[in-house]
Structures are given as C-alpha cells and as structure tokens.
Amino acid sequence: MSDERVLVTGGTGFVGITCIVRLLGDGAEVRTTVRDLARADEVRELVRRAGADPDGVEVVAADLLDDDGWDAAVAGTTHVLHVASPFPARQPKDEDELIVPARDGVLRVLRAARDAGVRRVVQTSSFAAIGYGRPYPGRPYTEADWTDPDGPGVTPYTKSKTLAERAAWDFIDREGGDLELATVNPVGIFGPALGADLSSSLELLRQLLNGVFPVVPNGEVGAVDVRDVADLHVLAMRHPDAAGERFLAVSGDAITYVELARLLRAGLGERAARVPTRVIPDWAVKAGAPFSRDLRLMSQELGRRADASHEKATRVLGWVPRERDEAVLASARSLIDLGLLRD
C-alpha cells in the first residue's frame, strides 16, 4: 500500500501507537501528531519496542484545542485516523473540559482533511456513544444504537464521545464535500501495552492486580484487543463499503468484574494473588456514593448490561477479533513484563 500516506492523531496513546505499527507493517507512509514535540522520541521508542522501524514515522505537533498545525499535519496525506481524544484519570467537575476538545478537535481535523483533499477519515469513537443513557434494548447493542447524552448515568466522558461523533457526522452531511467518514466504536480496550500510557481498561487491570480494591462491583465490561481495534481502523480506512458507516469493535460477550477477577487468578496464578474475587453488595455502593466520586460512578454501572455485536464489522469488512479472554490476559502479562505492577 505504498501510495497510502496516513496521518494518525494521538501518536503516544494506546490505540494510536498500535495503529501506527499496523500501518508501518503494510508499508504505508505514516505521520502522527503529538501536542508537544518533546514527546517525539517517546513515539519512536514505542514503535521500536513493537518491532517496527521508527524511521518510517514523521512526528508533528498539533493540539485539539488549537487551529495551528492541523493544515500542515494533513498536507499530502490520503487518509486520517483520528484517534486522539481526551480521556481523564477522573471525571472532571466541568464537563466542558472533555466535551470541548473532543468535539472541537474532531471538527478541526475534518475541516483540515476536507481542505487538503483527504479521501477518508476514520474517527475513533467509542461504545460510550452507543450504550448509555437509555434502557438496555433487550439484545446486544449495535451500531444503530446511540447514547442519549442527557440520559441517566451519562458521565462527562460518555457525553463528550457522543457529542464528538454526532458533530463529525453533522459536519460530513453539511459541509464535508467529497470527504468520507467512518467511525470505530470500541468497548473496553485490552491487549498488550507497549508503555506506561494505559487505557482505562488496562488501568483497571493494573489496580486489580495490585490489590488496590478489596472487592469488585456488580457490573460488566465489554472487551476487545487493541491489535484488533487497529486492524478495524485500517479496514475501515480502505474498504469501499466502509464510508458513511459505524463499526462496533468488540470480542464476544461482555465479562462481569468477578469473571474478570477469576480469569486473572486462573491465568496468572501467583502473580494475581492480590486480585479480589468478592463482590461488593449493591447497597454498600449506593450508601457510599454520596461521599465518594469513585463509588458514585460505580453506582451508575450497577447491574447494567454491556453486550454488543461485531456482526456488522465481520459481515461488511471481514473483521474477526481475537478471543476476549486472550485479550485480557495479554494485557495483564504485558503489565508484568513492563514492570508496572507492585512486587
């Protein structure tokens, strides 16, 4: 695919760096953005760690909150994978801290891509834009479902992902010109980490393996391997039938937190000795919610269903993800190999 020149935004992130490595393996020319060029060497080291040649990556500076840099970032590219999006360690008090960069950032990228004659943008959206704020539909979630940003239990992050994707589709409809758009909507992203910049799902595993929590909540999470997420981005970038479509990235059924804990115990043995397998009663979570932000967020997830279907991605693009448990255990082993767990 030597005629492909691809911009990947957010080159230091978990999904971004995996997309870069995937594209380099296909022989594509790759450019990536970071907010600060001081992190350029970090990108190259992560690429090297993954076994790819860092000389094949051009690193440029661009910020989702600033117009400067985006025209230069997209210049000469044929495709854009817009992966960059703010993700907080904790939910902010002001939701605009997440909504503004997510929404305005994707519009900056789309506007620059349109003006530069880019063929297609693939936006990394999220299951957060699909499965929240409405009652469970009684079947696995699909791409036809949308989160109600004003519905119950919607966090600032969930709202930011929903409004950003809505804004992207509205832009394409109203002023996109010849620019094509596809979105990839992953559930919880697992798989092998290359560095300490962890997804929220890997951070959850790290905390479980370090024994941060004495108990787990009554809830569940969808899972998909980051390598499969990168594959789906590339398929959505190239396939002629992907334009104008959303694609859920999910591997199998959702996993409950207690099943996740037991999987870690069974798969890692002594290294998972600190992982809790007791479930905190719902009443205890609700009782503590007024006094703890973590418990308040946990209370919003109690008993919710997260099953989703990858039927569309498989049917349209031929995408076949790894097994769910394989993705989870690959994550945990990478945390051990990187020395990110307590002794």
**Rounded-to-integer distance, Cα 195 and Cα 12, Å:** 9
Question: Which residues have C-beta within 8 Å of that of residue 87, sequence separation ≥ 6?
Answer: 157, 199, 200
Question: Which residues have C-beta within 8 Å of that of residue 116, sequence separation ≥ 6?
Answer: 71, 74, 75, 76, 77
Reference 336, options 230, 199, 202, 216; nearest CA is 202
How many other C-beta atoms can be found within 10 angstroms of the C-beta atom of residue 2? 8
Active site residue 161: yes
Q: Are residues 153 and 322 in contact, defined by beta-carbon separation less than 8 angstroms?
A: no
Q: Identify the DSSP state of 323.
A: P
Question: Which residues have C-beta within 8 Å of that of residue 20, sequence separation ≥ 6?
Answer: 8, 11, 30, 32, 43, 47, 52, 57
Q: Which of 93, 159, 161, 286 is catalytic?
A: 161
CB-based burial, 292-318: b 16+ in 10 Å, e otherwise: eeebbbbbbbeebbbbbebebbeeebe
**Using CA atoms in the order 131, 133, 134, 135, what is the torsion angle rounded to 10 degrees?**
80
**Rounded-to-integer distance, Cα 335 and Cα 203, Å:** 10
Element (H, E) at 32: strand 29-34
Residues with catalytic function: 161
